[in-house]
Amino acid sequence: MTVAAPPITQLTNYINGRWTESRASEWLDVVNPATGEALARVPLADAAEVNAAVGAAAAAFPEWRRTPPEDRIQPLFKLKNLLEDHLDELSRIITQENGKTFTEAKAEMRRAIENVEVACGIPMMMQGYNLEDVARGIDETMIRQPLGVVAAIVPFNFPGMIAFWFLPYAIACGNTFILKPSERVPLTMHRVFELLEQTGLPKGVVNLVNGGKAVVDALLDHPKVRAISFVGSTPVAKYVYARAGANGKRAQCQGGAKNHVIVLPDADMNMATQIISDSAFGCAGQRCLAVSVAVTVGEAQRTFRDSITAAAASLRVGNGLDEGVQMGPVITPKSKSRVESLIGVGEKQGAKVLLDGRNARIPKHEAGNFVKPTVLDDVPRDSELTDAEIFGPVLSLVHANDMDEALAFLEHSAYGNQASLFTSSGSAARRFRYEAPAGNIGINIGVAAPMAYFPFSGWKDSFFGIMHGQGRDSVEFYTEKKVVVERWAKEHSRKF
């Protein structure tokens, strides 16, 4: 007897407190990158569905902004507990749709929860300031008020965390919110919104619209959307920033990256190797803070080259849900062939392939998008590999005679998301912290991911805007300042 396969789930949107079937004419399969199996179908919604979400969010705003901040954070406390209770379930969904290992998925969800915890401090963080007697008998006060309807558009590489750089702060500040997840990994946020539904948030305060460019464009053009938070690749970040600006919206747009690490000869080589290996190959190199180029200085060249190649070769690659697996697949077959072709370009342009991860075969996972860890040595300065964001498990090694030469590699890069240094010298560390042209700096740290109470500070083509995600910057971004100057004549007060 043959048993029919269960029907594939068709995802819905969450608008005005209800799960709403999409009228989309286009749908995509959500595919497990380790197995090639279709997990669900996601609608590519249109402008009408965005209009419905914006309408619901706009209708919910007047009452939500009048809700005292202390009451607005109560659903977030509930959300924190729900996320803790469902941590393993959510992490499993992340691994299934994104491919990263279960351990990496859990670590991602911890950072998500951390942002909920920080946003619970809004009654303190959102306070303004005041001064009596700015002139005789006149007082001045700065008040922060929410903007209204705000939206976030997020990428595939952190299906659970990145929405939380925005959502908790936006609603705690009194805004109403629309999320557009990545159409490649929409399942995690679908489950998160089922949990949000249990927190007692009034209808319309949080909304979820699945889709791609059409949804983004409708959000960018809708006059009632006041602010856009975006995380993704640089070309799209630039486009979103420009179109949001042209429509008079405030925008914070985080873009792509090409992160450098400098290894000095006085570094603890065992520690540096371990940490840089995790940074370059963790999440299959699909982290915006992944180290992509290692610049060895002087004698560090030989020792580091040998140790990093051995460490990379020892990593166990496979399905992130399997015990002991240290690295999963890249997101799509297209991404796998792009990464493999860039390795080929580097080789043609003169780089030596010390470890070749192309044509990986993982037993029982022939349909998975696996690229094994790859190490390239002596990558020429003018090679495409030196500049392009690869977003795969590929580490390029380049060499410098001193710190000046090493820093020149960083200066040359169009990106400035993260830069790291491995050393035991305090003065080298201070110089690096002072001069490195990037927003997130690691000293003996491989993934310098700011905690939720610090801003996620990309520079150059890695960020467009002023206020970053997370922490105090979020409060600045999601509120408008109002200044009140008051005079009360004495005669009136004498009456009472």
Catalytic residues: 288
State in angstroms the smallest separation of the CB of 465 from ligand NAD.
11
State in angstroms the smallest separation of the CB of 28 from ligand NAD.
10
Sign of CA dihedral 417, 463, 107, 76: positive
The residue ranges of DSSP E strands in 388-467, in sequence order, are 394-400, 415-416, 418-422, 440-443, 459-460, 463-464
User: Using CB under 6 A, which of the segments 17-25, 153-161, 271-279, 368-376 binds ligand NAD?
Assistant: 153-161
Q: Which of 255, 346, 368, 471 touches ligand NAD by CB under 6 A?
A: 255
- Asked if 216 touches ligand NAD (CB under 6 A), the answer is yes
Q: Which of 155, 328, 368, 446 touches ligand NAD by CB under 6 A?
A: 155
The residue (of 446 and 458) whose beta carbon lies closer to ligand NAD is 458
Which parts of 175-204 interact with ligand NAD (CB under 6 A)?
Answer: 180, 182-183
- Asked if 334 touches ligand NAD (CB under 6 A), the answer is no
Please name which of 37, 76, 79, 34 lies closest in space to residue 365, comparing C-alpha atoms.
34
Tokens (6 digits) for 231 = 């995380």
Q: What are phi and psi of 442, to 5 degrees?
A: -115, 125
User: Using CB under 6 A, which of the segments 12-20, 106-114, 122-130, 148-156 binds ligand NAD?
Assistant: 148-156
Cα atoms in the 13 Å half-sphere on the side-chain side of 63: 9
Q: How many residues contact ligand NAD, by CB under 6 A?
A: 27
Q: How many CB atoms lie within 10 A of CB 55?
A: 17
* Rounded-to-integer distance, Cα 125 and Cα 119, Å: 8
* Rounded-to-integer distance, Cα 410 and Cα 342, Å: 20
Residue at 355: amino acid letter: L
- Asked if 153 touches ligand NAD (CB under 6 A), the answer is yes
Burial state string for 214-239 with b = 16 or more CB within 10 A and e = fewer than 16:
bbbbbbbebeebbbbbbbbbbebbeb
User: Using CB under 6 A, which of the segments 126-134, 167-175, 200-208, 252-260 binds ligand NAD?
Assistant: 252-260
Q: Which of 14, 61, 156, 464 touches ligand NAD by CB under 6 A?
A: 156
**Per-residue binder mask for ligand NAD (CB under 6 A), 2-31, x = binder:** ------------------------------
Bridging pattern class, strands 259-263 and 479-487:
unpaired
**Residue 426, exposed/middle/buried by CB under 10 A (0-12, 13-18, 19+)?**
exposed
**Which residue number is nearest to ligand NAD in terms of Cβ?**
232
State in angstroms the smallest separation of the CB of 188 from ligand NAD.
13
Tokens (6 digits) for 266 = 């006085």
State in angstroms the smallest separation of the CB of 185 from ligand NAD.
8
Which parts of 377-396 interact with ligand NAD (CB under 6 A)?
Answer: 389, 391
State in angstroms the smallest separation of the CB of 336 from ligand NAD.
14
Which parts of 444-483 interact with ligand NAD (CB under 6 A)?
Answer: 456, 458, 462
What does the chain come to in residues? 496
The residue (of 75 and 285) whose beta carbon lies closer to ligand NAD is 285
For 136-178, the DSSP string reads: TTEEEEEEEEE-SEEEEE--SS-TTTGGGGTHHHHHHTT-EEE
State in angstroms the smallest separation of the CB of 30 from ligand NAD.
13
Residues that bind ligand NAD (CB under 6 A): 153-157, 180, 182-183, 212-213, 216, 231-233, 236, 239, 254-257, 288, 389, 391, 417, 456, 458, 462
